[in-house]
Structure 1
Amino acid sequence: MANSLEEGTMVGMQAQREVDTLRDFAVATATAAAALVREERARIENADGLGAHTTTKSSAVDPVTEVDQASEAFIVSAIRETFPGDGILGEEGTDFPSTTGVTWVIDPIDGTVNFLYGARDYAVSIGAFSAGHLVAGAVVNVAQGIVYAAAAGHGATVRHLGQEPRELRCNRVYDPALALVATGFSYDARRRRQQGAVLAELLPQVRDIRRVGAAALDLCRVAEGSVDAYFEHGINAWDFAAGAVIAAEAGAVVHHPGLDKGAADGEIIWVAAPDLAPAFEQLLASIGALEPQRG
Protein backbone atom coordinates (compact mmCIF):
# COMPACT_ATOMS: atom_id res chain seq x y z
CA MET A 1 0.00 0.00 0.00
CA ALA A 2 1.41 3.37 -1.01
CA ASN A 3 0.61 5.27 2.15
CA SER A 4 -0.25 4.44 5.74
CA LEU A 5 -1.29 6.69 8.62
CA GLU A 6 -1.32 5.34 12.16
CA GLU A 7 -1.82 6.94 15.55
CA GLY A 8 1.27 8.89 16.53
CA THR A 9 2.99 8.53 13.13
CA MET A 10 3.10 12.27 12.54
CA VAL A 11 3.46 13.45 16.15
CA GLY A 12 6.34 15.87 16.37
CA MET A 13 6.62 16.25 12.61
CA GLN A 14 7.81 19.72 11.64
CA ALA A 15 5.70 21.09 8.81
CA GLN A 16 6.47 24.42 7.18
CA ARG A 17 3.55 25.93 9.04
CA GLU A 18 2.12 24.91 12.38
CA VAL A 19 -0.38 22.14 11.78
CA ASP A 20 -2.90 23.63 14.21
CA THR A 21 -2.88 26.81 12.12
CA LEU A 22 -3.67 24.75 9.04
CA ARG A 23 -6.45 22.94 10.90
CA ASP A 24 -8.00 26.15 12.17
CA PHE A 25 -7.98 27.69 8.70
CA ALA A 26 -9.55 24.53 7.26
CA VAL A 27 -12.29 24.61 9.91
CA ALA A 28 -13.09 28.30 9.38
CA THR A 29 -13.08 28.03 5.58
CA ALA A 30 -15.06 24.77 5.42
CA THR A 31 -17.64 26.17 7.84
CA ALA A 32 -18.06 29.31 5.74
CA ALA A 33 -18.27 27.25 2.55
CA ALA A 34 -20.93 25.04 4.15
CA ALA A 35 -22.99 28.14 4.91
CA LEU A 36 -22.63 29.18 1.26
CA VAL A 37 -23.76 25.73 0.10
CA ARG A 38 -26.88 25.88 2.30
CA GLU A 39 -27.74 29.38 1.09
CA GLU A 40 -27.21 28.56 -2.58
CA ARG A 41 -29.20 25.35 -2.34
CA ALA A 42 -32.14 27.19 -0.81
CA ARG A 43 -31.93 29.98 -3.38
CA ILE A 44 -31.89 27.61 -6.36
CA GLU A 45 -34.65 25.38 -4.97
CA ASN A 46 -36.84 28.45 -4.52
CA ALA A 47 -36.14 29.53 -8.08
CA ASP A 48 -36.10 26.91 -10.84
CA GLY A 49 -34.83 23.85 -8.97
CA LEU A 50 -31.48 22.08 -8.66
CA GLY A 51 -31.94 20.08 -11.87
CA ALA A 52 -31.62 23.18 -14.00
CA HIS A 53 -28.21 23.86 -12.44
CA THR A 54 -26.73 20.36 -12.70
CA THR A 55 -24.52 18.69 -15.32
CA THR A 56 -22.57 15.41 -15.33
CA LYS A 57 -18.88 14.47 -15.31
CA SER A 58 -17.53 10.92 -15.59
CA SER A 59 -20.90 9.29 -16.27
CA ALA A 60 -24.60 10.05 -16.40
CA VAL A 61 -24.85 9.31 -12.66
CA ASP A 62 -21.87 11.51 -11.66
CA PRO A 63 -23.38 14.97 -11.15
CA VAL A 64 -21.82 18.37 -10.61
CA THR A 65 -23.87 21.41 -9.68
CA GLU A 66 -23.29 25.12 -9.85
CA VAL A 67 -23.19 24.99 -6.06
CA ASP A 68 -20.19 22.60 -6.18
CA GLN A 69 -18.43 25.10 -8.40
CA ALA A 70 -19.38 28.10 -6.27
CA SER A 71 -18.16 26.33 -3.13
CA GLU A 72 -14.81 25.46 -4.74
CA ALA A 73 -14.37 29.02 -6.02
CA PHE A 74 -15.03 30.38 -2.51
CA ILE A 75 -12.51 28.01 -0.90
CA VAL A 76 -9.87 28.67 -3.55
CA SER A 77 -10.27 32.42 -3.12
CA ALA A 78 -9.84 32.10 0.66
CA ILE A 79 -6.67 30.03 0.27
CA ARG A 80 -5.16 32.30 -2.40
CA GLU A 81 -5.82 35.37 -0.26
CA THR A 82 -4.46 33.91 3.00
CA PHE A 83 -1.69 31.60 1.72
CA PRO A 84 -0.90 32.82 -1.82
CA GLY A 85 1.98 30.41 -2.43
CA ASP A 86 0.19 27.25 -1.38
CA GLY A 87 -0.84 24.61 -3.86
CA ILE A 88 -4.49 23.69 -4.37
CA LEU A 89 -6.02 20.50 -5.74
CA GLY A 90 -9.80 20.67 -6.11
CA GLU A 91 -12.43 18.25 -7.38
CA GLU A 92 -13.89 20.74 -9.83
CA GLY A 93 -10.64 21.32 -11.68
CA THR A 94 -8.54 23.69 -9.56
CA ASP A 95 -4.86 22.74 -9.77
CA PHE A 96 -2.22 25.20 -8.54
CA PRO A 97 1.34 24.03 -7.82
CA SER A 98 2.80 24.84 -4.41
CA THR A 99 5.79 27.10 -3.81
CA THR A 100 5.58 26.73 -0.01
CA GLY A 101 5.47 22.96 0.45
CA VAL A 102 1.81 23.07 1.51
CA THR A 103 -0.99 21.86 -0.77
CA TRP A 104 -4.70 22.10 0.04
CA VAL A 105 -6.90 19.26 -1.20
CA ILE A 106 -10.55 20.26 -1.39
CA ASP A 107 -13.90 18.67 -2.08
CA PRO A 108 -16.47 21.46 -2.30
CA ILE A 109 -19.39 19.05 -1.87
CA ASP A 110 -18.63 15.42 -1.08
CA GLY A 111 -21.87 13.53 -1.62
CA THR A 112 -23.36 15.54 -4.47
CA VAL A 113 -26.01 12.88 -5.16
CA ASN A 114 -27.17 13.21 -1.53
CA PHE A 115 -27.16 16.98 -1.99
CA LEU A 116 -29.39 16.68 -5.05
CA TYR A 117 -31.84 14.32 -3.36
CA GLY A 118 -32.00 16.22 -0.09
CA ALA A 119 -30.39 13.41 1.93
CA ARG A 120 -28.68 14.93 4.96
CA ASP A 121 -25.20 13.49 4.42
CA TYR A 122 -23.02 15.71 2.26
CA ALA A 123 -19.96 17.63 3.29
CA VAL A 124 -17.36 20.25 2.56
CA SER A 125 -13.91 18.71 2.97
CA ILE A 126 -10.58 20.56 3.16
CA GLY A 127 -7.28 18.79 3.85
CA ALA A 128 -3.70 20.04 4.02
CA PHE A 129 -0.67 18.17 2.69
CA SER A 130 2.83 19.17 3.82
CA ALA A 131 6.28 17.59 3.99
CA GLY A 132 5.00 14.43 2.35
CA HIS A 133 2.12 13.91 4.77
CA LEU A 134 -1.53 14.74 5.20
CA VAL A 135 -1.30 16.96 8.27
CA ALA A 136 -4.61 18.72 8.91
CA GLY A 137 -8.21 18.75 7.82
CA ALA A 138 -11.81 19.68 8.39
CA VAL A 139 -15.00 18.00 7.23
CA VAL A 140 -18.31 19.80 7.72
CA ASN A 141 -21.60 17.92 7.39
CA VAL A 142 -23.46 20.75 5.69
CA ALA A 143 -27.08 19.82 6.42
CA GLN A 144 -26.48 18.78 10.03
CA GLY A 145 -23.91 21.43 10.96
CA ILE A 146 -21.42 18.90 12.36
CA VAL A 147 -17.76 19.93 12.21
CA TYR A 148 -14.97 17.33 12.31
CA ALA A 149 -11.37 18.51 12.56
CA ALA A 150 -7.86 17.26 13.21
CA ALA A 151 -4.20 18.22 13.05
CA ALA A 152 -1.30 15.79 13.13
CA GLY A 153 -0.26 15.17 16.71
CA HIS A 154 -3.11 17.27 18.11
CA GLY A 155 -5.95 14.73 18.03
CA ALA A 156 -9.34 14.86 16.36
CA THR A 157 -12.55 16.54 17.47
CA VAL A 158 -16.20 16.83 16.55
CA ARG A 159 -18.49 19.75 17.28
CA HIS A 160 -22.26 19.56 17.01
CA LEU A 161 -24.43 22.66 16.78
CA GLY A 162 -24.64 24.44 20.12
CA GLN A 163 -22.13 22.13 21.79
CA GLU A 164 -18.47 22.27 22.73
CA PRO A 165 -15.98 20.18 20.72
CA ARG A 166 -15.28 16.69 22.03
CA GLU A 167 -12.38 14.37 21.33
CA LEU A 168 -12.87 11.55 18.87
CA ARG A 169 -11.75 7.98 19.53
CA CYS A 170 -12.38 4.83 17.51
CA ASN A 171 -14.31 1.88 18.89
CA ARG A 172 -12.65 -1.04 20.67
CA VAL A 173 -13.55 -4.00 18.50
CA TYR A 174 -11.30 -6.92 17.53
CA ASP A 175 -13.44 -9.36 15.55
CA PRO A 176 -14.53 -8.52 11.99
CA ALA A 177 -17.69 -10.58 12.63
CA LEU A 178 -18.72 -7.87 15.10
CA ALA A 179 -17.65 -4.93 12.93
CA LEU A 180 -20.00 -2.48 11.27
CA VAL A 181 -18.35 -1.65 7.94
CA ALA A 182 -18.95 1.35 5.67
CA THR A 183 -18.29 1.34 1.95
CA GLY A 184 -19.10 3.17 -1.26
CA PHE A 185 -19.51 2.47 -4.95
CA SER A 186 -18.12 3.82 -8.18
CA TYR A 187 -20.01 5.83 -10.77
CA ASP A 188 -18.66 3.35 -13.36
CA ALA A 189 -21.00 0.40 -13.96
CA ARG A 190 -18.19 -2.09 -14.66
CA ARG A 191 -16.44 -1.30 -11.40
CA ARG A 192 -19.75 -1.50 -9.54
CA ARG A 193 -20.04 -5.12 -10.63
CA GLN A 194 -16.62 -5.83 -9.14
CA GLN A 195 -17.50 -3.97 -5.96
CA GLY A 196 -20.75 -5.88 -5.66
CA ALA A 197 -18.91 -9.19 -5.98
CA VAL A 198 -16.46 -8.20 -3.24
CA LEU A 199 -19.31 -7.06 -1.03
CA ALA A 200 -21.12 -10.37 -1.48
CA GLU A 201 -18.01 -12.13 -0.12
CA LEU A 202 -17.56 -9.69 2.74
CA LEU A 203 -21.13 -9.34 4.00
CA PRO A 204 -21.46 -12.80 5.62
CA GLN A 205 -18.24 -12.18 7.55
CA VAL A 206 -19.06 -8.84 9.23
CA ARG A 207 -21.83 -7.48 11.45
CA ASP A 208 -23.38 -5.42 8.64
CA ILE A 209 -22.67 -2.88 5.90
CA ARG A 210 -23.49 0.83 5.75
CA ARG A 211 -23.55 2.98 2.62
CA VAL A 212 -23.94 6.72 3.21
CA GLY A 213 -22.65 8.18 -0.06
CA ALA A 214 -19.86 10.49 1.12
CA ALA A 215 -16.36 9.13 1.67
CA ALA A 216 -15.26 12.06 3.84
CA LEU A 217 -18.12 11.38 6.24
CA ASP A 218 -17.42 7.63 6.23
CA LEU A 219 -13.89 8.36 7.44
CA CYS A 220 -15.23 10.64 10.15
CA ARG A 221 -17.67 7.92 11.21
CA VAL A 222 -14.79 5.54 11.82
CA ALA A 223 -13.22 8.29 13.93
CA GLU A 224 -16.36 8.82 16.01
CA GLY A 225 -17.20 5.12 16.33
CA SER A 226 -20.51 5.10 14.45
CA VAL A 227 -18.87 2.51 12.19
CA ASP A 228 -15.82 0.34 12.88
CA ALA A 229 -14.20 0.26 9.44
CA TYR A 230 -14.48 1.65 5.93
CA PHE A 231 -13.17 0.55 2.53
CA GLU A 232 -13.68 1.67 -1.04
CA HIS A 233 -11.97 1.32 -4.40
CA GLY A 234 -11.19 4.10 -6.84
CA ILE A 235 -11.73 7.32 -4.95
CA ASN A 236 -9.76 10.52 -5.44
CA ALA A 237 -7.48 12.44 -3.11
CA TRP A 238 -10.09 15.12 -2.41
CA ASP A 239 -12.49 12.42 -1.22
CA PHE A 240 -10.20 11.24 1.57
CA ALA A 241 -7.58 13.93 2.33
CA ALA A 242 -9.25 15.58 5.32
CA GLY A 243 -11.06 12.50 6.58
CA ALA A 244 -7.86 10.44 6.60
CA VAL A 245 -6.21 12.84 9.05
CA ILE A 246 -9.31 12.89 11.25
CA ALA A 247 -9.55 9.10 11.34
CA ALA A 248 -5.83 8.66 12.02
CA GLU A 249 -5.85 11.21 14.84
CA ALA A 250 -8.79 9.36 16.39
CA GLY A 251 -6.61 6.25 16.50
CA ALA A 252 -7.59 4.49 13.28
CA VAL A 253 -5.21 2.65 11.01
CA VAL A 254 -5.51 4.33 7.60
CA HIS A 255 -4.21 2.96 4.29
CA HIS A 256 -4.74 5.14 1.25
CA PRO A 257 -3.32 5.05 -2.31
CA GLY A 258 -1.63 8.46 -2.18
CA LEU A 259 -2.46 11.84 -3.61
CA ASP A 260 -1.02 10.98 -7.03
CA LYS A 261 -3.55 8.22 -7.70
CA GLY A 262 -7.06 8.84 -8.96
CA ALA A 263 -10.32 7.03 -9.44
CA ALA A 264 -9.15 5.40 -12.68
CA ASP A 265 -6.38 3.56 -10.82
CA GLY A 266 -9.01 1.70 -8.81
CA GLU A 267 -6.87 1.29 -5.71
CA ILE A 268 -8.36 0.67 -2.29
CA ILE A 269 -8.54 2.91 0.71
CA TRP A 270 -9.26 1.06 3.92
CA VAL A 271 -9.58 2.37 7.46
CA ALA A 272 -10.24 0.48 10.66
CA ALA A 273 -10.28 0.90 14.41
CA PRO A 274 -6.80 -0.04 15.69
CA ASP A 275 -7.68 -3.31 17.42
CA LEU A 276 -9.68 -4.42 14.39
CA ALA A 277 -7.17 -3.43 11.71
CA PRO A 278 -4.98 -6.58 11.52
CA ALA A 279 -7.92 -8.96 11.19
CA PHE A 280 -9.78 -6.60 8.86
CA GLU A 281 -6.78 -6.38 6.53
CA GLN A 282 -6.54 -10.18 6.49
CA LEU A 283 -10.24 -10.43 5.68
CA LEU A 284 -9.91 -7.94 2.80
CA ALA A 285 -6.92 -9.87 1.47
CA SER A 286 -8.77 -13.20 1.67
CA ILE A 287 -11.53 -11.95 -0.64
CA GLY A 288 -9.19 -10.19 -3.07
CA ALA A 289 -10.27 -6.71 -2.00
CA LEU A 290 -6.76 -5.34 -1.62
CA GLU A 291 -6.22 -5.61 -5.38
CA PRO A 292 -7.08 -2.58 -7.59
CA GLN A 293 -10.42 -2.58 -9.39
CA ARG A 294 -9.98 -0.84 -12.73
CA GLY A 295 -13.30 -1.75 -14.31
Structure 2
Amino acid sequence: MNTDLLNLARGVAGEAAAFVAAQRAGGVSVAATKSSAVDVVTQVDRDCEALVRERLLAARPGDAFLGEEGGGAGGETGVRWIVDPIDGTVNFLYGLPQYAVSIAAEQDGRVVAGVVVNAATGEECFASLGGGAWRDGVRLRVRGPAPLAERLVLTGFNYQAGTRRVQAAAVAKLLPLVRDIRRMGSCALDLCHVASGSADAYVEEGVAEWDYAAGALIAREAGARTEVTVGRDGKEALLCAPAHGFEEFREAVVSCGFLALDRE
Protein backbone atom coordinates (compact mmCIF):
# COMPACT_ATOMS: atom_id res chain seq x y z
CA MET A 1 0.00 0.00 0.00
CA ASN A 2 2.77 2.46 0.94
CA THR A 3 4.49 1.78 -2.38
CA ASP A 4 1.32 2.46 -4.35
CA LEU A 5 0.69 5.72 -2.49
CA LEU A 6 4.29 6.79 -2.92
CA ASN A 7 4.31 6.04 -6.64
CA LEU A 8 1.13 8.05 -7.11
CA ALA A 9 2.51 10.95 -5.07
CA ARG A 10 5.75 10.97 -7.05
CA GLY A 11 4.01 10.97 -10.39
CA VAL A 12 1.65 13.79 -9.45
CA ALA A 13 4.37 15.85 -7.73
CA GLY A 14 6.58 15.60 -10.80
CA GLU A 15 3.79 16.81 -13.04
CA ALA A 16 2.90 19.61 -10.64
CA ALA A 17 6.52 20.75 -10.32
CA ALA A 18 6.85 20.92 -14.10
CA PHE A 19 3.66 22.99 -14.22
CA VAL A 20 5.01 25.41 -11.59
CA ALA A 21 8.33 25.76 -13.44
CA ALA A 22 6.57 26.50 -16.72
CA GLN A 23 4.37 29.13 -15.09
CA ARG A 24 7.38 30.79 -13.44
CA ALA A 25 8.98 31.24 -16.85
CA GLY A 26 6.01 33.36 -17.90
CA GLY A 27 6.23 35.73 -14.93
CA VAL A 28 4.38 35.74 -11.61
CA SER A 29 2.24 38.23 -9.72
CA VAL A 30 0.53 38.25 -6.33
CA ALA A 31 -3.12 37.12 -6.43
CA ALA A 32 -3.96 37.67 -2.76
CA THR A 33 -2.55 37.87 0.77
CA LYS A 34 -3.36 35.69 3.77
CA SER A 35 -2.22 36.21 7.36
CA SER A 36 -0.53 39.55 6.62
CA ALA A 37 0.36 41.87 3.74
CA VAL A 38 3.62 39.97 3.18
CA ASP A 39 2.06 36.49 3.28
CA VAL A 40 1.28 36.12 -0.40
CA VAL A 41 -0.44 33.61 -2.65
CA THR A 42 -0.20 33.50 -6.43
CA GLN A 43 -2.66 32.15 -8.95
CA VAL A 44 -0.08 29.45 -9.68
CA ASP A 45 -0.40 28.21 -6.07
CA ARG A 46 -4.14 27.82 -6.59
CA ASP A 47 -3.89 26.27 -10.04
CA CYS A 48 -1.19 23.83 -8.95
CA GLU A 49 -3.24 22.67 -5.98
CA ALA A 50 -6.25 22.17 -8.23
CA LEU A 51 -4.13 20.05 -10.56
CA VAL A 52 -2.78 17.93 -7.69
CA ARG A 53 -6.21 17.47 -6.17
CA GLU A 54 -7.73 16.46 -9.50
CA ARG A 55 -5.00 13.90 -10.23
CA LEU A 56 -4.97 12.33 -6.77
CA LEU A 57 -8.73 12.05 -6.38
CA ALA A 58 -9.17 10.80 -9.92
CA ALA A 59 -6.82 7.93 -9.05
CA ARG A 60 -8.29 7.42 -5.56
CA PRO A 61 -11.74 9.02 -5.40
CA GLY A 62 -12.54 7.90 -1.86
CA ASP A 63 -9.55 9.58 -0.20
CA ALA A 64 -9.56 12.70 1.95
CA PHE A 65 -7.61 15.78 0.88
CA LEU A 66 -6.05 18.73 2.72
CA GLY A 67 -4.41 21.53 0.74
CA GLU A 68 -2.96 24.85 1.84
CA GLU A 69 -4.98 26.95 -0.57
CA GLY A 70 -8.27 25.09 -0.96
CA GLY A 71 -8.87 23.53 2.42
CA GLY A 72 -10.00 19.96 3.02
CA ALA A 73 -12.38 17.32 1.76
CA GLY A 74 -13.55 14.26 3.68
CA GLY A 75 -12.94 10.70 2.60
CA GLU A 76 -13.84 7.14 3.47
CA THR A 77 -10.69 5.07 2.82
CA GLY A 78 -8.55 6.08 5.80
CA VAL A 79 -6.09 7.79 3.44
CA ARG A 80 -5.64 11.55 3.46
CA TRP A 81 -3.45 13.56 1.10
CA ILE A 82 -1.68 16.58 2.60
CA VAL A 83 -0.49 19.02 -0.05
CA ASP A 84 1.44 22.26 -0.31
CA PRO A 85 1.34 23.24 -3.98
CA ILE A 86 4.24 25.70 -3.64
CA ASP A 87 6.15 25.66 -0.37
CA GLY A 88 8.23 28.81 -0.57
CA THR A 89 5.84 31.08 -2.46
CA VAL A 90 7.87 34.24 -1.77
CA ASN A 91 10.95 32.55 -3.24
CA PHE A 92 8.80 31.56 -6.23
CA LEU A 93 7.61 35.15 -6.61
CA TYR A 94 11.18 36.49 -6.62
CA GLY A 95 12.72 33.68 -8.65
CA LEU A 96 14.91 32.29 -5.85
CA PRO A 97 15.38 28.57 -6.57
CA GLN A 98 14.05 27.21 -3.26
CA TYR A 99 10.37 26.40 -3.75
CA ALA A 100 8.78 22.99 -3.88
CA VAL A 101 5.71 20.87 -4.41
CA SER A 102 5.08 18.79 -1.29
CA ILE A 103 2.70 15.81 -1.20
CA ALA A 104 2.22 13.42 1.73
CA ALA A 105 -0.08 10.43 2.11
CA GLU A 106 -1.43 9.77 5.58
CA GLN A 107 -3.07 6.44 6.40
CA ASP A 108 -5.18 6.13 9.55
CA GLY A 109 -3.53 9.24 11.00
CA ARG A 110 0.08 8.32 10.21
CA VAL A 111 2.12 9.68 7.31
CA VAL A 112 3.29 6.70 5.26
CA ALA A 113 4.59 8.30 2.05
CA GLY A 114 5.93 11.68 1.06
CA VAL A 115 7.61 13.47 -1.81
CA VAL A 116 9.14 16.93 -2.11
CA VAL A 117 10.16 18.20 -5.55
CA ASN A 118 12.13 21.42 -5.92
CA ALA A 119 10.23 22.96 -8.82
CA ALA A 120 13.14 25.27 -9.68
CA THR A 121 15.68 22.47 -10.13
CA GLY A 122 13.62 19.29 -10.53
CA GLU A 123 15.40 17.62 -7.59
CA GLU A 124 13.15 15.03 -5.94
CA CYS A 125 13.29 13.69 -2.39
CA PHE A 126 10.90 10.96 -1.28
CA ALA A 127 10.30 8.40 1.42
CA SER A 128 7.90 5.71 2.55
CA LEU A 129 7.42 4.53 6.11
CA GLY A 130 10.08 1.92 6.77
CA GLY A 131 11.42 2.22 3.21
CA GLY A 132 14.12 4.84 3.74
CA ALA A 133 14.58 8.28 2.25
CA TRP A 134 15.94 8.94 -1.22
CA ARG A 135 17.03 11.79 -3.46
CA ASP A 136 17.28 11.14 -7.17
CA GLY A 137 17.99 7.46 -6.51
CA VAL A 138 20.55 7.96 -3.72
CA ARG A 139 19.79 6.92 -0.14
CA LEU A 140 19.71 9.87 2.25
CA ARG A 141 21.40 9.89 5.65
CA VAL A 142 21.62 12.62 8.25
CA ARG A 143 24.99 14.11 9.10
CA GLY A 144 27.03 12.36 11.76
CA PRO A 145 27.44 13.58 15.33
CA ALA A 146 28.94 17.04 15.85
CA PRO A 147 29.26 19.41 18.79
CA LEU A 148 26.46 21.98 19.03
CA ALA A 149 28.97 24.71 18.14
CA GLU A 150 29.59 22.96 14.80
CA ARG A 151 25.98 22.51 13.72
CA LEU A 152 24.34 24.44 10.87
CA VAL A 153 20.75 25.30 11.84
CA LEU A 154 17.93 26.17 9.45
CA THR A 155 14.96 28.28 10.50
CA GLY A 156 12.12 30.37 9.13
CA PHE A 157 10.14 33.45 10.10
CA ASN A 158 6.40 33.82 10.40
CA TYR A 159 4.54 36.44 8.38
CA GLN A 160 3.04 38.17 11.44
CA ALA A 161 5.17 40.94 12.90
CA GLY A 162 4.67 40.00 16.56
CA THR A 163 5.77 36.43 16.02
CA ARG A 164 8.78 37.63 14.02
CA ARG A 165 9.93 39.73 16.97
CA VAL A 166 9.80 36.67 19.22
CA GLN A 167 11.64 34.57 16.63
CA ALA A 168 14.31 37.20 16.06
CA ALA A 169 15.07 37.38 19.78
CA ALA A 170 15.39 33.57 19.99
CA VAL A 171 17.61 33.41 16.90
CA ALA A 172 19.87 36.11 18.35
CA LYS A 173 20.42 33.91 21.42
CA LEU A 174 20.97 30.71 19.42
CA LEU A 175 23.38 32.16 16.85
CA PRO A 176 26.45 32.36 19.18
CA LEU A 177 25.92 28.72 20.21
CA VAL A 178 26.02 27.10 16.73
CA ARG A 179 28.11 27.14 13.56
CA ASP A 180 25.62 29.38 11.75
CA ILE A 181 21.94 29.87 10.95
CA ARG A 182 20.31 29.89 7.53
CA ARG A 183 16.83 31.05 6.45
CA MET A 184 16.17 29.41 3.07
CA GLY A 185 12.42 30.00 2.77
CA SER A 186 10.89 26.51 2.36
CA CYS A 187 10.11 24.26 5.32
CA ALA A 188 9.77 21.19 3.09
CA LEU A 189 13.16 21.71 1.46
CA ASP A 190 14.78 22.58 4.80
CA LEU A 191 13.70 19.20 6.16
CA CYS A 192 15.18 17.52 3.09
CA HIS A 193 18.46 19.36 3.77
CA VAL A 194 18.54 17.86 7.26
CA ALA A 195 17.79 14.45 5.74
CA SER A 196 20.67 14.74 3.30
CA GLY A 197 23.20 15.96 5.86
CA SER A 198 23.55 19.41 4.28
CA ALA A 199 22.19 20.92 7.51
CA ASP A 200 22.20 19.75 11.10
CA ALA A 201 18.87 20.96 12.45
CA TYR A 202 15.72 22.94 11.83
CA VAL A 203 13.36 24.92 14.06
CA GLU A 204 10.44 27.17 13.16
CA GLU A 205 7.26 28.52 14.74
CA GLY A 206 4.20 29.12 12.58
CA VAL A 207 4.36 26.03 10.38
CA ALA A 208 1.33 24.03 9.25
CA GLU A 209 0.78 20.37 8.46
CA TRP A 210 1.09 20.86 4.71
CA ASP A 211 4.49 22.53 5.19
CA TYR A 212 6.11 19.58 6.92
CA ALA A 213 4.09 16.36 6.45
CA ALA A 214 6.18 15.03 3.56
CA GLY A 215 9.52 16.58 4.53
CA ALA A 216 9.31 15.37 8.12
CA LEU A 217 8.81 11.76 6.97
CA ILE A 218 11.79 12.10 4.64
CA ALA A 219 13.91 13.43 7.50
CA ARG A 220 12.84 10.69 9.90
CA GLU A 221 13.52 7.95 7.35
CA ALA A 222 17.03 9.40 6.96
CA GLY A 223 17.70 9.17 10.69
CA ALA A 224 16.26 12.38 12.08
CA ARG A 225 13.80 12.94 14.87
CA THR A 226 10.98 15.47 14.65
CA GLU A 227 8.75 17.10 17.25
CA VAL A 228 5.63 19.19 16.73
CA THR A 229 5.06 21.47 19.70
CA VAL A 230 4.02 25.04 20.57
CA GLY A 231 6.22 28.04 19.92
CA ARG A 232 6.84 30.97 22.26
CA ASP A 233 4.18 33.07 20.52
CA GLY A 234 1.58 30.30 20.73
CA LYS A 235 1.75 28.95 17.17
CA GLU A 236 2.59 25.42 16.07
CA ALA A 237 6.33 24.85 15.99
CA LEU A 238 8.50 22.12 14.50
CA LEU A 239 11.91 20.85 15.55
CA CYS A 240 14.01 18.45 13.47
CA ALA A 241 17.53 17.13 14.01
CA PRO A 242 19.44 13.85 13.71
CA ALA A 243 18.25 11.48 16.42
CA HIS A 244 21.75 11.24 17.88
CA GLY A 245 21.85 14.99 18.62
CA PHE A 246 18.19 15.85 19.01
CA GLU A 247 18.01 16.26 22.79
CA GLU A 248 20.98 18.62 22.95
CA PHE A 249 19.53 20.73 20.15
CA ARG A 250 16.13 20.78 21.82
CA GLU A 251 17.65 21.97 25.08
CA ALA A 252 19.35 24.82 23.23
CA VAL A 253 16.11 25.77 21.48
CA VAL A 254 14.25 25.84 24.79
CA SER A 255 16.95 27.85 26.56
CA CYS A 256 16.96 30.43 23.74
CA GLY A 257 13.21 31.01 23.99
CA PHE A 258 11.82 29.39 20.84
CA LEU A 259 9.16 27.35 22.64
CA ALA A 260 6.19 28.02 24.89
CA LEU A 261 7.80 25.83 27.58
CA ASP A 262 10.10 28.74 28.42
CA ARG A 263 7.49 31.49 28.68
CA GLU A 264 7.50 31.74 32.43
Q: Give the TM-score of the pair, scaled to structure 2.
A: 0.95
Matches within 5 A, 1:181-200: 181-200=153-172
Cα separation, 1, equivalents of 2:55 and 2:175: 43
1:74 and 2:46 matched: no
Spell out, residue by residue over 1:22-62, the C-alpha distance to the aligned partner (whole angstroms, 9 max, x if none): 1111111111000111112223x2xxxx22x5321111101
Q: 1:293 to 1:146 in 2, by over 3 A?
A: farther
Could you say which residue in structure 2 is the equivalent of 1:253? Answer: 225
**Paired amino acid for 1:27:** R
Runs (5+) with no aligned partner, structure 2: none
Identify which of 101, 108, 121 aligns with 1:131.
Answer: 108
**Paired amino acid for 2:192:** C
Matches within 5 A, 1:231-270: 231-257=203-229, 265-270=234-239
Distance apart, 1:77 and its partner CA: 0.1
Q: Give the TM-score of the pair, scaled to structure 1.
A: 0.85
Could you say what secondary structure the match of 1:275 adopts?
helix
**Native 8 Å contact 2:100 2:186 kept in 1:** yes
Aligned CA RMSD, in angstroms, stands at: 1.8
Could you say which residue in structure 2 is the equivalent of 1:30? Answer: 13
Spell out, residue by residue over 1:129-187, the C-alpha distance to the aligned partner (whole angstroms, 9 max, x if none): 1122111100000111100000000000001xxxxx10000001242111100000000
1:275 and 2:244 matched: yes
**Paired amino acid for 1:236:** A
Q: Which structure features the higher share of strand residues?
A: 2
**Native 8 Å contact 1:183 1:232 kept in 2:** yes
Cα separation, 2, equivalents of 1:174 and 1:274: 12
Which stretch shows the higher mean deviation, 272-281 or 80-89?
A: 272-281
Cα separation, 1, equivalents of 2:220 and 2:214: 10
User: How many residues were matched structurally?
Assistant: 262
Distance apart, 1:233 and its partner CA: 0.5
Could you say which residue in structure 2 is the equivalent of 1:56? Answer: 33
Distance apart, 1:78 and its partner CA: 0.6
Distance apart, 1:290 and its partner CA: 2.7
Q: 1:92 to 1:101 in 2, by over 3 A?
A: same
Could you say which residue in structure 2 is the equivalent of 1:7? Answer: none
**Paired amino acid for 1:198:** A
